[in-house]
Chain A
């Protein structure tokens, strides 16, 4: 609308001018016409009176002059407009971004040319992207600018006072822009490249490293024998093969400055840059160094930031510097170093990350004399995920890993005394430790919501997107930051690795025109030592009613055993040979008496919502995820869940 108005404003004087010219013409003509009609009827029959001929000539001369005058005026107005508009654009481009989007892109006639001239002169150094590097052709840019002023703010090549090229590394435009350099982003990049031949994809991440996978940071990397693991970041997979946490080595990616010119396209990663502003109307973003990058399609995969406890944040610098919030590679490196130099470490939080780190550090405590404490408000580990009986059972296993578990613990205050941290719990207990790891949840990163005008979900946090992961026309969101509509299970936000892969891939597909909704249900898994491993899918919330179907466990039913035997194992395995600790049950069918000692060796747990299975945990049962996925996809009410459990053949190996 603004554009229409401004265009009209631009055209109005022109229209006025031309209409004036017309009117003048008409009037002049009218003057003559006024006379001519009286003459013409009379002259129709003849060639006209000789005296009238001279008048005609005069008339035609006047009309001709008027027409010429009018067109000259029109021509000069339009040209002047263009020139003024160009100057305006240059001026806007060099102004701070914020001001630029407030003013309309096209100049208005009301702007005094004088003011513009002074502003143009006062233009500071144009933006770094002003001067395209010689290697980087930007043919669409100047054309696009004239035609679509709101598209880019690149100063055209004819900018007066062209400055020296600042950063050569950042392309000014990319067809596909992925904000965030994590799992979802990488999955999307791969998807885009697979579907759009020669696609040019730019990933912008504030981390100093290219995309990597997160699960090994709290599991496999800790079990590595290699003393240089913090440098190599390599771990052993289930199949014995080693790999790096990085999805691809650096040679996979192309340099950002080569992106525009790359014949077959490619994926470029811009590290150490944070996107601070997003202009949805202009289809462009701004980095923390004021560089602007425009895009055709954009993915927001900004993930999240670990939450902290308020009591720690307020406790002062001495406490804060002895606290780790664990998420990134640098956190892993720091924690590894710290854990080797202290005597006692406390993990606050009883969920996935907290429990995995506790077990990993607990294993380390057998080699050193590191005291590992884990505290959380729930009654047992994974209290919000596993039903109570299983949570209790898991907690016992965690304790066996060498962890001192303090359950039902609410932290009241933390102080630093004599280089030691003292954690005061609400029930009066006092815990003294050297270092704290806070694993109390993830805050989805929605910093861009404000500038981009994107909706944030109040229930789950994160950007609100539809079933196709779309927030706005050219913007998708995937991974931890996406609160999406799951057709089967309802609106949710999922913070797991496989979901990042699945949603990233789906977003990439939709960015290349697929228009598919979230349908393939992602799964997740966790291992807590060599005895406890499970895979899960769907909504796994301990507040839901559950039905668990278990078989008696034998020594064969452990994650480690599963990998060894079938060769197609799934679990990450521990490095210890400690299978002897797993209880070997009697092989006879268990009579009721023995059950109260309950060994939940292996089984299936169904989570129900209105009698429909919405979540399934496969407890020490592997290679069955497709069946679980199918049951959830069907969304049927099953009368007897024991019958459904039969589908999993839990007794088989």
Chain B
């Protein structure tokens, strides 16, 4: 049984698990996926890449940002059977650039990104050196674009608040 009390202007309700078993009848307004004000995920409604997505961490804005953007764009728009297969040069440029900044792009990610370049997932999954909370899975990046991207952890927060489920 739920229990309620008032302390001045503050109301306190204690509820049991059973009390909350019935689904809520609270109404929420449906979200507009094309709302221009909302934070966008990785892929914008028009199909472009949102370079400012928190899920990318600092990849698009660092010293190798332009190489990264070229490589990932190439991959994204690739229509080949093996997606991104024509983008090898772009990825190589990016990797060369990243090797110049080992502090920013730790070496183990280079291996990750090169192997994933083959599979076409690109270095988006490569974890930015800030230690993003987002696990380096390409699936989660895709999920991030569909789910509320506000949820996507920004590697600038020392503690993560949500994961892109």
Query: Are the chains A and B members of one assembly?
Result: yes
Which candidate, B7-15, B76-84, B108-116, is the interface stretch facing chain A? B7-15
Given contacts A266-B63, A651-B20, contact A626 B162 (CB under 8 A): yes
Q: Is the CB of A238 within 8 A of B160?
A: yes
By beta carbon, the residue of chain A nearest B57 is A190
Does B46 belong to the interface (CB within 8 Å)? no
User: Least Cβ distance of A596 to chain B in Å?
Assistant: 9
Does B34 belong to the interface (CB within 8 Å)? no
**CA gap between A189 and B101 in the complex, in Å:** 19
Given contacts A568-B163, A626-B162, A634-B28, contact A550 B130 (CB under 8 A): no
Given contacts A248-B130, A497-B157, A523-B161, contact A595 B14 (CB under 8 A): yes
Does A351 belong to the interface (CB within 8 Å)? no
**CA gap between A187 and B26 in the complex, in Å:** 36
Which candidate, A298-306, A325-333, A641-649, is the interface stretch facing chain B? A641-649
By beta carbon, the residue of chain B nearest A251 is B103
**CA gap between A570 and B17 in the complex, in Å:** 23
Q: Is the CB of A517 within 8 A of B66?
A: no
User: Least Cβ distance of B165 to chain A in Å?
Assistant: 8
Among candidates A387, A626, A647, residue contacting B151 with C-beta atoms closer than 8 Å: A626
Give every chain A residue within 8 A of B23 (Cβ-Cβ): 646
Does A243 belong to the interface (CB within 8 Å)? yes
By beta carbon, the residue of chain A nearest B151 is A626
Does B88 belong to the interface (CB within 8 Å)? no
Among candidates B54, B69, B101, residue contacting A197 with C-beta atoms closer than 8 Å: B69
Among candidates A190, A215, A525, A571, residue contacting B58 with C-beta atoms closer than 8 Å: A190
Q: Is the CB of A595 within 8 A of B27?
A: no
Q: Is the CB of A516 within 8 A of B151?
A: no
**CA gap between A197 and B14 in the complex, in Å:** 53
Does B52 belong to the interface (CB within 8 Å)? yes
Task: Give chain B's interface secondary structure class.
Answer: loop
Does A625 belong to the interface (CB within 8 Å)? yes
User: Least Cβ distance of A380 to chain B in Å?
Assistant: 13
Given contacts A239-B133, A247-B156, A644-B24, contact A389 B29 (CB under 8 A): no
**What per-residue 1/0 map shows which CB atoms of B131-165 lie under 8 Å from chain A?**
10100000000000000101100101111111100
Per the 8 Å Cβ criterion, residues 244-271 of A in contact with B are: 245, 247-249, 251-252, 254, 264, 266-267
Give every chain A residue within 8 A of B8 (Cβ-Cβ): 388
Give every chain B residue within 8 A of A629 (Cβ-Cβ): 150
By beta carbon, the residue of chain A nearest B20 is A646
Q: Is the CB of B66 within 8 A of A197?
A: yes
Q: Is the CB of B24 within 8 A of A547?
A: no
Given contacts A387-B10, A520-B39, contact A505 B52 (CB under 8 A): yes
Q: Is the CB of A571 within 8 A of B15?
A: no
User: Least Cβ distance of A178 to chain B in Å?
Assistant: 13
Q: Is the CB of B104 within 8 A of A264?
A: no
**What per-residue 1/0 map shows which CB atoms of B49-73 lie under 8 Å from chain A?**
0011010101011110110010000
Does A435 belong to the interface (CB within 8 Å)? no
Does A650 belong to the interface (CB within 8 Å)? yes
Q: Is the CB of A636 within 8 A of B66?
A: no
Per the 8 Å Cβ criterion, residues 605-653 of A in contact with B are: 623, 625-626, 629-631, 634, 636, 638, 640, 642-647, 649-651
Does A193 belong to the interface (CB within 8 Å)? yes
- Chain A residues bordering chain B, tally (CB within 8 A): 88
**CA gap between A252 and B58 in the complex, in Å:** 10
**What per-residue 1/0 map shows which CB atoms of A499-511 lie under 8 Å from chain B?**
0010001001100
Does A551 belong to the interface (CB within 8 Å)? yes
Q: Is the CB of B103 within 8 A of A249?
A: yes
Does A368 belong to the interface (CB within 8 Å)? no
Given contacts A497-B157, A517-B37, contact A551 B15 (CB under 8 A): yes
User: Least Cβ distance of B12 to chain A in Å?
Assistant: 5
By beta carbon, the residue of chain B nearest A593 is B3
Among candidates A235, A264, A642, residue contacting B15 with C-beta atoms closer than 8 Å: A642
**CA gap between A245 and B8 in the complex, in Å:** 42
Q: Is the CB of A239 within 8 A of B160?
A: yes
Does A167 belong to the interface (CB within 8 Å)? no
**CA gap between A333 and B16 in the complex, in Å:** 47
Q: Is the CB of A195 within 8 A of B52?
A: yes
**CA gap between A191 and B7 in the complex, in Å:** 46
**CA gap between A650 and B38 in the complex, in Å:** 27
**CA gap between A186 and B27 in the complex, in Å:** 38
Does A572 belong to the interface (CB within 8 Å)? yes
Give every chain A residue within 8 A of B129 (Cβ-Cβ): 248-249
**CA gap between A626 and B51 in the complex, in Å:** 22
**What per-residue 1/0 map shows which CB atoms of A171-191 lie under 8 Å from chain B?**
000000000000100110111
In this complex, which of B16, B18, B20 has the most chain A Cβ atoms within 10 angstroms of its Cβ? B20
Does B47 belong to the interface (CB within 8 Å)? no
Give every chain B residue within 8 A of A54 (Cβ-Cβ): none
Q: Is the CB of B9 within 8 A of A546?
A: yes
Does A17 belong to the interface (CB within 8 Å)? no
User: Least Cβ distance of B151 to chain A in Å?
Assistant: 5
16 CB < 8 A contacts A-B = A186-B156, A190-B52, A190-B61, A194-B52, A194-B60, A251-B63, A497-B158, A525-B159, A545-B9, A550-B13, A551-B20, A625-B161, A625-B162, A636-B28, A651-B16, A651-B20
Binding site for B on A (CB under 8 A): 183, 186-187, 189-195, 197-198, 213, 215-216, 220, 235, 237-239, 241-243, 245, 247-249, 251-252, 254, 264, 266-267, 387-389, 497-498, 501, 505, 508-509, 516-517, 519-520, 523, 525, 535, 544-552, 568-572, 589-592, 595, 598, 623, 625-626, 629-631, 634, 636, 638, 640, 642-647, 649-651
Binding site for A on B (CB under 8 A): 1-3, 5, 7-20, 22-29, 31, 36-39, 51-52, 54, 56, 58, 60-63, 65-66, 69, 101, 103-104, 129-131, 133, 148, 150-151, 154, 156-163
- Beyond A550-B12, A630-B28: 14 further Cβ-contacts under 8 Å? A194-B52, A243-B158, A251-B101, A388-B10, A550-B15, A551-B17, A570-B161, A572-B158, A592-B1, A595-B14, A626-B150, A644-B26, A645-B13, A646-B26
